[in-house]
Structure 1
Amino acid sequence: MRYLVSLGLLLITFWLVLSGHYTVLLTSLGAASVALVLWIASRMSVADHEMVPLRITHRMPLYALWLTKEVFRSAAQVSIRVLRGPQSLNPGLRPVRHGQTSSMGETILANSITLTPGTLSVRVDAEHIDVHSVDEAFIDELETGRFAARVRQLDTGA
């Protein structure tokens, strides 16, 4: 039940922030949408610790700030390479060991890699994430494990 309540609060907040319109009609439609999603989630029995990861909620703001910094840093690096011309690009596709202990950690890491300009997570398995990059230097940086360590810290608290 606590997961349904948490999911409901998350959906309401998300809807209100993204909507920006607070008329009676739109607010009622938003509430009805949230109620429908909660009913479906309840009937499917999918509201659990993986769908609503309460254990990482308090660590998420710091991770989001760190990821935002990485996105801007990477965007600057990609911009510089693009402005220098095609000769400064060295695209590549390589598997990178992720070392995550949960599927949530794997998912967060793969999505974080994709959010970072210049890199794209192509495939995830139990050991590796296949990463495509506009420059292999970005993949080299991922292989240092800094990204994976941040995600592991978010996921496990360690």
Structure 2
Amino acid sequence: MSARNPLLSRHRGTALALPPLLAAFWLVMSGHYTWLLLTLGAASVCLVVWVIWRMQVVDDESLPLRVLPRLPGYLLWLIGQIMLSAVTVLRLVWSPRRKIRPGVGTVPAAGMSDLSKVIYANSITLTPGTLSVSFRNGDIEVHALRAEGVAEVADSAMPRRVEGLEKR
């Protein structure tokens, strides 16, 4: 198998982790454990693994297993930040004195890996009141409901926590 697909030989751990992860995901999402559905689920997992193997897309970038141990803690923290930001946006919108003055600026992300940049940009977008617009010279361009919001994102704990996901 590895002679035919050199990508799998380099990323054997990632390739071997894919079928059990897909099967576990299917079992959790299905919720049905009859013989027929378990057989169809196993067949669908095999089909997906075969298609992925044929496409030669299994690597550490497509399935970054190194972030999985720290991901639940980060997601809990991010949910808390989303809730806090939602309250802040709610106050801005419902305030009798509108203090909404949108601003665009860049947030430094030059020292981050590509995976960390993507997680960071998506986390910024998920947080109400901010939006990742684009990548510029290794930094992330951010739109915020308040001009100070861009600086708040840059000074927050988010970049440190995102980089902490990939620590080995």
Tell me which amino acid in the other structure corresponds to 1:54. L
The code of the aligned residue for 2:55 comes to M
Aligned counterpart, 1:65: 76
Q: Which moved more, 1:83-92 or 1:65-74?
A: 83-92
CA positional deviation for 1:136: 2.3
Kept after mapping to 2: 8 A contact 1:59/1:154: yes
Distance 1:23 1:47, change over 3 A: same
Unpaired segments ≥5 residues, structure 2:
1-11
Higher helix fraction (1 or 2): 1
Q: Which has the larger radius of gyration?
A: 2
Q: Does 2:126 correspond to 1:115? A: yes
Match of 1:17 in 2: 28
1:9/1:129 CA distance change after superposition, 3 Å: same
Letter of the aligned partner of 2:141 in structure 1? D
Would the aligned equivalents of 1:100 and 1:152 in 2 still touch at CA under 8 Å? no
1:74 and 2:93 are equivalent in the alignment? no
RMSD value over aligned CA atoms? 2.3
Deviates more, 1:7-16 or 1:58-67: 7-16
Structure 1 gaps, min length 5: none
* Aligned with residue 38 of structure 1, among 29, 44, 49: 49
1:6 match: secondary structure: helix
Q: Distance in 2 between matches of 1:99 and 1:146?
A: 16
* SS in structure 1 at match of 2:112: coil
1: CA distance, partners of 2:91 / 2:81: 15
Q: Which secondary structure state, in structure 2, belongs to the residue aligned with residue 52 of structure 1?
A: coil
Query: Is the 1:99–1:148 contact (alpha carbons within 8 Å) kept by the matching residues of 2?
Result: no
Equivalent of residue 88 in structure 1, options 99, 124, 138:
99
Aligned residues: 157
Say which of 108, 115, 128 aligns to 1:104: 115
Distance of 1:43 and 1:14 partners within structure 2: 21
Contact (CA 8 Å) 2:103, 2:148: kept in 1 or not? Answer: no
Task: Label 1:21 to 1:81 Cα distance change in 2 as closer, same or farther (>3 A).
Answer: farther
Partner of 1:88, secondary structure, is coil
Residue 69 of structure 2 aligns to a residue in which SS? Answer: coil
SS of equivalent residue, structure 2 residue 98 = helix
CA distance in 2, matches of 1:76, 1:49: 37
Q: Secondary structure at the match of 1:55?
A: helix
- Partner SS for 1:87: coil
Measured after TM superposition, the shift of residue 84 of structure 1 is: 1.0
Identity of aligned residues (%): 42
